[in-house]
Structure 1
Amino acid sequence: MSLPMPHGFEKPFAAFLFDMDGTILNSIRAAERAWSNWARRHGLDVDDFLPKMHGSRGIDTITRLNLPGVDPVHEAKLVTEAEIADVSDVVPISGAAAFLSSLPPDRWAIVTSSPLRLAHRRLEAAGLPRPKFMVTAEDVTVGKPDPQCYILGAERLGVSTHECLVFEDVAAGIAAGEAAGADVMVVTATHQHKMATAHPSLASYDEISIRISAEHKMFIVANAA
């Protein structure tokens, strides 16, 4: 037996847009190893820096620091190569593989701040399906929280962002989804502390299922406990 989602999710969706890291897979340990090593090389306080790098493109993270003599493009490439080489702790969020496999292939996309090669590497490491449609760091000129990435994701699926449900886990991505005009579901699987949000949330994809209407619209339903 399935139960209805909270108010606001009775609506039909044309497509789903998923962030990747922290939303369908957990890459925190691997990412933080690579970024910690980079931060130490540049004399940064690692504990202060790490919370600020999640959810953003590497080039945007480094550019914001405005470090003298540092080329953000070059340094972001170095971090990406380190992340590609280290996927030992990358695992799927519980239930994500089954949920993604239940969706029509042309009705969902991944919209990630990761570069394409890293996205493919982490999806493979987590045993998750590679989607038909993706938006990655190389596809946009401005990263999250700018909505450009989610607007592009909806365009590639041939739908309006207002018909989309965005799955996100961090503030920058949630803001991007909101600014794009999409509905947002917050995935809390990797959160160490409760996030204050007005959006519905889920701790794992085991909590939800998909129902497709006769009009080919998708509805989220909550699984019975």
Structure 2
Amino acid sequence: MNRIDNKRTIEWEVSEFLFDMDGTLLDSIAAVEQAWHEWAVEEGVAIPEGESFHGRTSRDLAAAFVPEERIAAALLRLGEIEQNPRAPVTPLPGAVELLAAVPDDRCAVVTSAARLVALARLAAGGIMPPALLITGDDVAYGKPHPEPYRAGTRWARDGVPPVAFEDTVAGLRSARAAGCLAVGVVGTATAAELQPQADAVITTLADVAVLVGTDSGLRVRLQALDPLSLSTR
């Protein structure tokens, strides 16, 4: 394990690559929060300052603020707003290159967004949907429950785990509980916030390299932040 400045090189054998979408692959957090604000104004509710639903499903958001009998209609309206982002949605550094380096059948996106919303955001960011896309519509329990990442795992075997990339604490908890190596990506949360739930923390996906062996085995190489430096971030 080598150290470069405040980073260290980590290399793992992995079965597949699993990616969160908002805040991990896409710079879409502003679009997400704008949609939540517009929805909250229409519903006549106030989302408290500092309340974070990043990494959680739209149902979690709706259930927290509207009565049970209004949840279905509230979800329908929130989905309509989210499918038409008003703020720019762009790929985050390293995302396009990393997705291109991972074999198609060893790659999945695991997002809390509804399927139509996920497809709209990926399209807005110029990213083709992967062969396997797990959305909030596909699971009974959203992050931090392990179900989303369990649904995205197809190749884990013989003790070789998937690696999952996440920008939220809820997402990292979900990935770890599903048996993934969990990598926190700084942005939505700080490195110090992500570190307790992560096996490694990186600044961007540009700090990740994919190594494909002649036997189709996969390894991931990370330029990860040194844990000793995280208290200052």
Question: Same fold, TM exceeding 0.5?
Answer: yes
Whether the 8 Å contact between 2:17 and 2:162 is mirrored in structure 1 is: yes
RMSD between aligned alpha carbons? Answer: 2.5
Letter in 2 for 1:55: G
* 8 Å Cα contact 1:97/1:129 also seen in 2: no
Deviation track 1:5-46 (CA, whole Å, cap 9, x = no partner) reads 857x43300101111111110111111111112223344334
1:116 aligned residue = 115
User: What residue identity is the alignment partner of 2:124?
Assistant: A
The secondary structure found in structure 2 opposite 1:62 is helix
Question: Cα distance 1:12–1:58, how it changes in 2: closer, same or farther (>3 A)?
Answer: same
Report if aligned partners of 1:40, 1:46 keep a CA contact under 8 Å in 2. no
Bigger mean CA offset, 144-153 vs 201-210: 201-210
Partner residue in 1 for 2:51: 51
- Residue in 1 that maps onto 2:193: 195
Give the aligned partner of residue 176 of structure 2.
Answer: 178
* Distance across 2 between alignment mates of 1:196 and 1:85: 30
Report the CA distance between 1:141 and its aligned residue: 0.8
Distance 2:98 2:106 in 1: 13
Match of 1:10 in 2: 11
Residue of structure 2 in register with 1:206 after alignment: 206
Q: Quote the residue 1:37 is aligned against.
A: 38
Structure 1 CA distance for aligned equivalents of residues 13 and 106 of structure 2: 13
Which residue number corresponds to residue 74 of structure 1? 73
Between 1:75-84 and 1:213-222, the stretch displaced more is 213-222
4+ runs deviating over 4 angstroms:
2-7
Rounded to whole Å, the distance in 2 between the matches of 1:144 and 1:32 is 18
Partner of 2:90: 91
Partner Cα distance (1:193, 1:98) in 2: 23
* DSSP-derived class of the 2:76 partner: helix
Q: Gapped runs of 5+ residues in structure 2?
A: 224-233
- Tell me if structure 2 keeps the 8 A contact 1:189–1:202: no
Take 2:160 and 2:42, find their aligned partners in 1: how far apart are those partners?
43
Query: Tell me, which stretches of 5 or more residues in structure 1 are unaligned?
Result: none
Cα distance, 1:68 vs. partner? 3.4
Distance 1:162 1:61 in 2: 35
Aligned partner of residue 143 in structure 1, secondary structure:
coil
- CA distance, structure 2, for counterparts of residue 130 and residue 25 of structure 1: 12
Identity %: 29
